[in-house]
A and B are shown apart, each in its own frame.
Chain A
Amino acid sequence: MESDKKIIVTVSGIDKTGIVAKITTKLAKYNVNIEDIKQSICQGYFVMFLLGGIENSKYSFREIKEALLEVGNELELEVWVQKRKIFDNMHKI
């Protein structure tokens, strides 16, 4: 499976308005295509998982990651941006 150009973004922290909007706006700005998204709120705690395709982005993985981490800092949320391969390798036989 070609997952080198797929990224998983995981966002977690205290729920507040505009989290999804700010993250997805940033993704759009960096030409990252959202292929799947899941979110849930548990006892006021927000968690979002997002699968993005970076094949059509003119930005590097590092630039995209830095931009998303910056949003995390602004909103005081924990943001992880990882290539999807690590999950495919770890959890699939």
Chain B
Amino acid sequence: MFDAESILETINMIKVNNLDIRTVTLSLSLRDCANNDIKKVGENIRNKILKYAKNLYCYASEIENEYSIPIVNKRIAVTPISLVGESSKDMDYVYLAKILDEVASEVNVDFIGGYSALVEKGFTKGDLALIESIPEALSSTNKVCSSINLASSKAGINMNAVLKMSKIIKNTAEMTANEDGIGAAKLVCFCNAPNDNPFMAGAFHGVGEHECQLNIGVSGPGVVSAAIEKLPKDADFGTLANSIKKIAFKITTTGELVGRELAKKLNIPFGVIDLSLAPTPNPGDSVAGIFKAMGLEHAGACGTTAALAMLNDAVKKGGIMASSYVGGLSGAFIPVSEDALMIDAVKRGCLTFDKLEAMTSVCSVGLDMIAIPGETPSDTIAGIIADEMAIGMINKKTTAVRVIPVPNKKIGDMAIYGGLLGEAPIMKVNTLCSSGFVNHGGQIPAPIHSLNN
């Protein structure tokens, strides 16, 4: 017995509306790889990743074939490398980055995340050494992704780290100038970074997690758009939210099936499913397309923040109903370069940097894949990061900054990355000086958690 309508619906979601498993991310602790000899650390890392991830690619391909659902990326997330390399006499983090890159290629994964440090309150020697090494590490590797947690609702904002990262972002972009600063596209600053996020560039294996687990990221903005387009134009918001929840439920159960099957084959625990509407540059695979389906003229119109808030919340509710193990970032991403209609909205002048910042107060991540002029002063970038960290800290949510100061490019030029990273129009950033503020130094204190208004 079967229901023909359900079968057709599933096939259409995959074939027409680009439903996919965006990533299966093997999340692996490397804490036991520490050693006082950096060469030994590298060897330990290599052996451990090979042991756990050698079958990831072929098992994932097998499951892709069994259910005819694309698994777009296979990835690995590891313990923040600042912790792993810190015990070595010679803290040569670039050497470890190269090992990670080599072994990622060997096991045929698309990205490896965890070139990371958690510095929301302060730096250790290892944290500092890792951060200083980021420009060289990201410009001499292809698959390594880096994330730094600079703030949290419990600790406040480490403004020394914010300032440092603003310079590191600029250096990283400059060292990859011949590829439009792609190094900075693999680098993200977080507030309240999740420990189990399968998405890049921010994936790392948190310290409270299993030895090894499989996290899965599912996407499908096109499926949500299609569901909304089927509703009558005068459907009320309750109906709209319900239809998003139902489709989010279907996407999540499918993702969990794939995650559990793959975890079983790999003989590791299933971690979390992260249902994030992550766009791709492909036609119809757009979060901005959902705003249009909801009745806005384009992304950036007044009402966009409200539309995104409802979308983000409904996606989470549908996901929570479908699985007990929803985690990571879960919600709606708004990366500019990866979303064809967001790019279009920026080019037409409909969507500005300031509106994007407002949207990040209700989206699931933050300022993501935004190209800005290469000549933007690092203090202005520090101001951008500080603003975004403040939104996350006060609202007790994850926020992030992945901006790319594209060397030698000016407002209106395009930065071209290709693949999932897409292409980005260089956006105008406020040119008022932020230096006096961001250079105060020290910590913005943790906020009060009562008297909420």
When the two chains form their complex, are residues A86 and B254 in contact, meaning their CB atoms are under 8 A apart?
yes
The interface bits of chain A over 64-90 (1 if a CB of B lies within 8 angstroms of the residue's CB, else 0) are: 010000000000000011111111011
A23 close to B (CB within 8 Å):
no
Q: Are B2 and A84 in contact (CB under 8 A)?
A: yes
Alpha-carbon distance between A81 and B67 when the two chains are bound, in angstroms? 8
**At the interface, yes or no: B3 with Cβ under 8 Å from chain A?**
yes
| A59 CB to nearest B CB, Å | 14
Secondary structure dominating the interface of B: helix
Q: Are B1 and A83 in contact (CB-based, < 8 A)?
A: no
Does B66 lie within 8 Å of A61, measured CB to CB?
yes
User: What's the nearest-Cβ distance from chain A to residue B67, in Å?
Assistant: 4
Q: Is A51 an interface residue (CB 8 A)?
A: yes
* Chain B residues bordering chain A, tally (CB within 8 A): 21
CA distance A36 to B4 in the complex (A): 11
CB neighbours of B3 from chain A (8 A)? 87, 91
When the two chains form their complex, are residues A80 and B1 in contact, meaning their CB atoms are under 8 A apart? no
> Do the beta carbons of A82 and B253 come within 8 Å of each other?
no
22 pairs across A/B with beta carbons < 8 Å? A8-B2, A8-B7, A47-B4, A47-B8, A49-B2, A49-B4, A49-B7, A51-B1, A61-B66, A62-B62, A65-B65, A83-B66, A84-B2, A85-B257, A86-B69, A86-B257, A87-B7, A89-B257, A90-B253, A91-B3, A91-B9, A91-B250
Query: Is residue A10 contacting chain B, with contact meaning CB distance below 8 A?
Result: yes
Mark interface residues in A43-69 (1 if CB within 8 Å of B CB, else 0): 000010101000000000110010000
A38 at the interface (CB under 8 A from B): yes
In the complex the two chains form, is A51's CB within 8 Å of B256's CB? Answer: no
Whether the pair B4, A82 counts as a contact (CB closer than 8 A) is no
Q: Is B408 an interface residue (CB 8 A)?
A: no
**Which residues of chain B (34-81) have a CB below 8 Å from chain A?**
62, 65-69
Q: Which of B239-276 contact A (CB under 8 A)?
A: 250, 253-254, 256-257
B13: nearest chain-A partner, CB-CB? A90
Q: Which residues of B contact A38 (CB under 8 A)?
A: 2, 4
Which single member of A51, A62, A87 contacts B6 (CB below 8 Å)? A87
The reply to whether the CB of B420 lies closer than 8 angstroms to some CB of chain A is no
Residues of chain B with a CB closer than 8 A to A47's CB: 4, 8
In the complex, whether B141 has a CB less than 8 A from a CB of chain A is no
Q: Across the interface, do A51 and B2 meet the contact criterion of CB distance under 8 Å?
A: yes
Q: How far is the CB of A64 from chain B (nearest CB, A)?
A: 11
- Residues of chain A lying within 8 A (CB to CB) of residue B4: 38, 47, 49
Query: Number of contacts between A and B (CB, 8 Å)?
Result: 58
Q: Which residues of B contact A82 (CB under 8 A)?
A: 10, 66-68
Bound Cα distance A36, B66 (Å)? 20
Q: Are A87 and B10 in contact (CB under 8 A)?
A: yes
Q: Which residue of B lies closest to A37 (CB)?
A: B2
| A91 close to B6 (CB less than 8 A) | yes
For the complex, what is the distance from the CA of A80 to the CA of B69, rounded to whole Å?
Answer: 11
Q: How far is A87 from B3 in the complex, measured between Cα atoms in Å?
A: 9
Known: A10-B7, A82-B68. 6 other contacts (CB 8 A): A10-B11, A47-B4, A84-B2, A86-B10, A90-B254, A91-B250
Interface centre among A62, A82, A89 (most CB of B within 10 A): A89
If A49-B7, A84-B2 touch, does A89 touch B254 (CB 8 Å cutoff)? Answer: yes
Q: A38-B4, A91-B250 are in contact. Are A86 and B65 (CB under 8 A)?
A: no
B214 to chain A, nearest CB (A): 17
B226 shortest CB reach to chain A, Å: 15
**B62: which A residues are within 8 A, CB to CB?**
62
Q: How long is the Cα–Cα vector from A51 to B11 in the complex, in angstroms?
A: 15
Q: Mark B125-159, 1 if CB is under 8 A from A, else 0.
A: 00000000000000000000000000000000000
Q: How far is the CB of A67 from chain B (nearest CB, A)?
A: 14
Q: A residues within 8 A CB of B1?
A: 36, 51
Kindly state the separation between the CA atoms of A58 and B158 in the bound complex, as whole angstroms: 62
User: How far, in angstroms, from A10 to B4 measured CA to CA in the complex?
Assistant: 9
Expressed in whole angstroms, the minimum distance between the Cβ of B18 and any Cβ of chain A is 16
Residues of B within 8 A of A36 (CB): 1-2
Residues of A within 8 Å of B6, CB to CB, are 87, 90-91
Distance (whole angstroms) from the CB of A88 to the closest CB of chain B: 9
Interface 0/1 of A17-42, CB less than 8 Å to B? 00000000000000000001010000
> Restricting to B253-304, which residues have a CB under 8 Å from any CB of A?
253-254, 256-257
Q: By the criterion CB–CB under 8 Å, are B7 and A89 in contact?
A: no
In the complex, how many angstroms separate the beta carbon of B11 from the nearest chain A beta carbon? 6
